Amino acid sequence: MLGSLEVGKKADLFVIGGDASNPYDAVLAATPIDVRLVMVGGVALYGDMSLAPLGPPDPGCETLDVCCHTKFACVAAPSSSPSDKFDQTYAEIEAALGQGLQNYDALGLSPWTRSPMTPLVRCP
């Protein structure tokens, strides 16, 4: 046994939907829609909207459309300085990366284009 789930301990875990009587196949067949909850260090960071209240209150979480299902994601973290950018939301990070890829393509340094950015998930 690698670890245990107990009060007072921090946990990294994920919960997926699927056939509970066949858990290994459920993991292998899981799609982005099937991810119900992701916790890191005992903190809920991603999952179904019904579980969003489990996410950290500061700086809060945001909603994402994942394969036509609404999920919550807690990307931003409390920031100690303006330069560390920990307080950026997913939307802000995606916009900055997308703009950076467009700017790079405009330089004409590569025979390939990098923009637009690949989506976060691929839906079945």
In contact, 52 and 38? CB cutoff 8 Å: no
Q: Residue 55 and residue 44: Cα distance in Å, rounded? A: 5
**Which amino acid appears at position 12 of this protein?**
D
* Cα 37 to Cα 4, 17, 40, 103, distances in angstroms: 18, 10, 10, 35
Could you tell me if 37 and 61 are in contact, meaning their C-beta atoms sit under 8 angstroms apart? no
Could you tell me the pTM of the whole model?
0.81
Q: Is the peptide bond before 59 cis (omega within 30 degrees of 0)?
A: yes
pLDDT band at 2 (very low <50, low <70, confident <90, very high): low
Task: Find out whether 59 and 76 touch, Cβ atoms under 8 Å.
Answer: yes
Q: How is residue 86 written in tokens? A: 């920990």
- The sign of the torsion formed by the CA atoms of 62, 52, 33, 70 equals negative
Q: pLDDT, tens digit, for every residue of 13-22?
A: 999 999 989 9
Residue 82: what pLDDT?
80
The average pLDDT across 113-122 equals: 88
Domain ranges of the chain: 13-86, 88-118
* Per-residue pLDDT, 81: 85
Q: What is the mean pLDDT of residues 8-29?
A: 91
